[in-house]
A = this chain, B = another copy of it.
Amino acid sequence: MTKTLNIGMVGYGFMARAHSNAWANVSHFFETGYRPALKAIVGRNVSKVRRVADMFGYESVETDWRVLIERKDIDAIDVCVPNDLHAEISIAAAKAGKMVLCEKPLARTEAEGLPMVDAVEKAGVPNMVWYNYRRVPAVMLIKQMVESGRLGKIFHYRAKFLQDWTISPDVPQGGAGTWRLDVEAAGSGVTGDLLAHCLDTAIWINGSLDSLTAMTETFVKERKNAETGAMQRVGIDDAAAVLTRFQNGSLGTFESTRYARGHKAGYTLEINGEKGSLSWDLHDLNRVQFFDHSVAGAQRGWTNILVTDGDHPYLGKWWVPGLIIGYEHSFTHQVADFLDGLKTGKPAAPSFRDALETTRVCDAIIASGKSGQWISL
């Protein structure tokens, strides 16, 4: 028997739309035993939130998240608001006994995230953080190949997340579309927004970091506040680069920026091992590049795997070989895994606790960017 899972969405922006789509379409493709119901969506601006509610078919609209959390007809709270609100809402939801799904990064700092972990663990509620790129089939394939030993001992892990949307000094900070430039709301700049994705994937695939040193920069020192119009000092990092040693002895390099012209969502990663290498690019997210050193010399090279076949992760649920999927599907897969986890009792990773590690590394990057020192993790 299929059970209904009543979803309460907090937020109605870009990420809330991505999550809503996943809740709405997961049952069309995955038979998990659960059918999400889009029960309610919260936003302070009632006309704007109603428009999103109408589009996705949410049954009701609220303007106060506290009211949502008090509602008995809600099973799971999905937190899709700026980072500075993650902790309060998540903790309240956990205390109310709701499942909590929080947008990444977990919190602005480890200190802020720790009570969130405590809250969900104390409440014993299923919890998850939306590091969605783990569920891109190509990335999952990489995880499986590394785990099965196809690369052997790992020497290098390399990841970048490049964007170019804040180059103009006229982009304001704060406000609906630009809260990511406001250090109060975001906690950090590219480190928490972009590097956090790279780090989550890296730790998942290659294990924990041992130590790191970082360089951070704020290219545009002052920006107008989107709401007040006043010029303000910019507190976020516009760019960050990291040298790191993993606990398994491999070396890592990470870089992120919003000042790399021509890159929009330029998340790339590469792993070099004794027996082979793997790489991936979010812009062509259905492809994995695999160098297999075991192939005969004259025919060896980088194999461009189009990850669309039925024996690729998640792909058996979609179309036929050769037909690609997109960005949003990673969320559908995350929901499917979350629902599967409810059935098996083993909620899908990353949990709040898993995600806390990534936030701890982000803190170290910001600190090292200031001190210039190596930091042990």
Interface residues of A (CB under 8 A from B): 2, 14, 17-18, 20-21, 24-25, 27-29, 31, 54-57, 141, 145, 151, 155-156, 158, 162-165, 167, 213-215, 217, 219, 239, 241-245, 251, 253, 255, 257, 259-266, 272-277, 282-286, 288, 290-293, 295, 297-306, 308-309, 311-312, 318-329, 372-374
- A177 to B327 alpha-carbon distance, docked (Å): 29
Q: Are A323 and B326 in contact (CB under 8 A)?
A: yes
Residues of B within 8 A of A214 (CB): 243
Q: Are A298 and B141 in contact (CB under 8 A)?
A: yes
The residue in chain B whose Cβ has the minimal distance to the Cβ of A245 is B215
Q: How far is the CB of A159 from chain B (nearest CB, A)?
A: 12
Contacts A257-B156, A324-B327 hold; do A243 and B245 have CB atoms under 8 A apart? no
- Top 6 closest A-B pairs, CB basis? A264-B322, A265-B322, A262-B291, A323-B327, A301-B305, A326-B326
- A67 to B309 alpha-carbon distance, docked (Å): 37
Q: How far is the CB of A100 from chain B (nearest CB, A)?
A: 24
- A282 to B321 alpha-carbon distance, docked (Å): 12
* A and B contact pairs by CB, cutoff 8 A, 12 listed: A25-B25, A141-B298, A155-B257, A155-B259, A213-B243, A214-B243, A215-B244, A239-B251, A243-B243, A262-B291, A264-B309, A264-B321
Q: In the complex, which of the residues B20, B295, B304 contacts A301, with contact meaning CB atoms closer than 8 Å? A: B304
- A54 to B2 alpha-carbon distance, docked (Å): 10
Q: How far is the CB of A279 from chain B (nearest CB, A)?
A: 9
- A213 to B241 alpha-carbon distance, docked (Å): 11
Q: Are B255 and A253 in contact (CB under 8 A)?
A: yes
- A83 to B306 alpha-carbon distance, docked (Å): 29
Q: How far is the CB of A119 from chain B (nearest CB, A)?
A: 31
Q: How far is the CB of A58 from chain B (nearest CB, A)?
A: 11
The residue in chain B whose Cβ has the minimal distance to the Cβ of A320 is B14
